[in-house]
Amino acid sequence: MAKEQKLKWQTIKVKVRDLVPLDFNPRKITPKRLDKLKELIKKFDVVEIPVINADGTLITFHQRLKVLLMLGRGEDLIEVRKPNRQLTDEELKQYNLASNTHVGEWDFDILETDFADIDLDFYDIKLPEVEEIGGDENDYDAEQEAQQAQGRNKPTNIIACSLSDDEYETWCTFKTKIGFGSDKKVIFAAIKVINKQNLLK
């Protein structure tokens, strides 16, 4: 089997109405999110460049295409990225998935401080909600709690919060060491104490 030619991309302009949606695009959008996307496009216009296959079929940009057509912008010329050859089915599916996968994660501290003036709910971004399970939160000393935890089987006073994947992995290692429970909603403040004091070392 001949080796596929190395992919190279160029930027060209096409009319919105000439973009052909992929008939098996795995992403979908709710009416509510579609309305939000419409608001964003009205405000910022088209920023992300669509990616098409050599035959003109969309690989990315499906939801934005819907919005542009809804807004009557089918005759608009927009820039797209086009390859020097047709992608194989495997390449197309791999790139489609990669372009719709968010490999990073939110830094909630930065969101809370530097983005406090932005309506995060509009973007479906939820900050961790601190929830008191037992006792008075004002009297809770997370550092003292974490230090004393190794001397008992489970905490008597917990601040619960949904954790990121990295924090959850840290917690699982920590709680196995000291015999805590396994609920993913666990001590919120203790994670910082664990990292700060290197309790896993």
Determine contact, residues 120/127, Cβ cutoff 8 Å: yes
Q: Which of 49-53, 133-137, 194-198 has the lowest mean pLDDT?
A: 133-137
Provide the pLDDT confidence category of residue 133 given band limits of 50, 70 and 90: very low
What does the pLDDT read at residue 198?
58
- DSSP state letters, 68-130: HHHTT-TT-EEEEEEESSPPPHHHHHHHHHHHT---S---HHHHHHHTTTS-GGGGT--PPPP
| Interval 168-183: pLDDT, tens | 666 666 655 555 544 4
pLDDT surpassing 90 at residue 185: no
Q: What angle do CA 128, 110, 120 make, to 5 degrees?
A: 60
Determine contact, residues 67/58, Cβ cutoff 8 Å: no
Mean pLDDT comparison of 1-15, 36-50, 159-173, highest-scoring range = 36-50
Select the more confidently predicted residue: 59 or 143.
Answer: 59
Sorted by where each starts, the structural domains of the chain and their CATH numbers stand as 9-99 (3.90.1530), 105-201 (no CATH)
What does the pLDDT read at residue 101?
77
pLDDT mean over 119-129: 86
pTM: 0.57
What does the pLDDT read at residue 174?
61
pLDDT surpassing 50 at residue 144: yes
Select the more confidently predicted residue: 161 or 34.
Answer: 34
Please name the residue that has the structure tokens 């790139």: 95
What does the pLDDT read at residue 156?
45
| Interval 88-118: pLDDT, tens | 999 999 999 988 876 678 888 888 889 989 9
Select the more confidently predicted residue: 183 or 147.
Answer: 147
What does the pLDDT read at residue 154?
47
Cβ count near 68 (within 10 Å):
21
